[in-house]
Structure formats: C-alpha cells, structure tokens
Structure 1
Amino acid sequence: MPKAQSLRLSAAAAAELGRQAAVAGTPGVMHLDLVESSCERWALRIRPGHLAGVPVARADGITLHAPVDQLARLNGLNLDYRGDLSGGGFLIRPDDGVRCCVCGSSFSRPGEGGTATK
C-alpha cells in the first residue's frame, strides 16, 4: 500500500466487504472508486474484484483497491458499514476539512465545491 494513504476500514466495513467479495467469487478482494455525486462532490462506488489501481486498505482478510489518481481524495477517510433489518450501506466518516452529505455516502474536499454538475 502507498505509505501516504490512510483510508481506514471499520470492523463492520471489513466484514461486509469480505462478505460481498465472497458472494461475488473474489474472496478477499474489492475495488473502490469515486464517482461524481448529486449532493456533495464525490460518492463511493464499491465493486468486487481488483479492477484497477493499488491496494489502499487492508483489514480482516480483505484488500480494498482504488485508482492511483484518486488516492489523495481517499486520504484520511474512514469507511464504515451500518446495517439493519431494512438494509444497509457503507458510510464515510471524514477527517477534518471534509464535508459529508447527510446520507453519509458522499463527500467533498476543501476547494472542490459541493454539488457536482451533471
């Protein structure tokens, strides 16, 4: 993993990533990339497998990969997972200076602006 990278996974996020990877037939390997969002600037897209990029986080038997050009945006974020009887989802727990949407799944960094233009 790149030394400057500090995306962190909660135990709940690591467990859910591991479950999804196993169901998809790619045990221990998931991919995360950022796509433009409708509320804050960036939203997470998480898919099974190693689609491209480098490892950005490892925990409890799961390795999460991301594109190299998105590493700076991921730095300092914490990925969590919350689930209940009606479903669940991954949530971003930001560091200082990062603004998150109330839904918890999109964020903006200082100077990037809020809502993305489509």
Structure 2
Amino acid sequence: MPAFEEEAGNVNTEAHHRLAQMIRGAAVTALLGAVARLRVPDHLADGPLTATELARRCGANPDALERTLRALANVGAFSRIDDRFALNDLAELLRTDSESTLRSTAMTAVDPAF
C-alpha cells in the first residue's frame, strides 16, 4: 500500500481541501452547539475567564471545556488571551441577549431530532 504522502500527490487538492473543510465544519458546529447549550458566551459577557472559572459557572468539565474553547478560538469563534477566553464578534452572536442571536440555530444544528 502506498504511503499517505504518495497518495496525497495524486489527490485533487481542491476536492481534498473542500472535503476537509466540510469535515472540520461538522466538528466546529458540534462545538458551537455545546458552548451555546452551556451558555458560555453569556458567562463571558463581563470579561475574559479561564476555562476552570467558566466550567464552574456553567457546570462543565474544565478540561473538556478548555479543549473546546481552544478549538473554537483556533477557528476564530472565540478569542484567547493568555489562559483566558473572551468573546469576539462571532461569539457575541451566541449570547442569549444578543439582538441577532444565533444561539438557537447553533443548538438546533446539533440536535439529533433535526
């Protein structure tokens, strides 16, 4: 069997890139649904917090929440300042009191009933 690098040389790179984006998109959607359900953006409304502080406020596992927020910060959905996480323009849209909130959309997107 050829090595991955050899196979990758024969791959349509545009198709590979597009499919990889779709796969990552599903993961990001799941993470956004989780933080919306936990109301993480609401807990960050008063300023940046560590994952441990956030986990205490929303009843989540601190390690899992840290991994989730790191991943979301990597795609630009939240901001990371040293060891703290903060809202940015995208995360603001997941707040319950946002005029144009997408919180329900994020949660519905990962609801098995839909």
- TM-score per shorter chain, which class? under 0.3
Larger Rg: 2
With structure 1 as the length reference, what TM-score do the two structures score?
A: 0.25
Greater strand percent: which structure?
A: 1
With structure 2 as the length reference, what TM-score do the two structures score?
A: 0.26
Greater helix percent: which structure?
A: 2
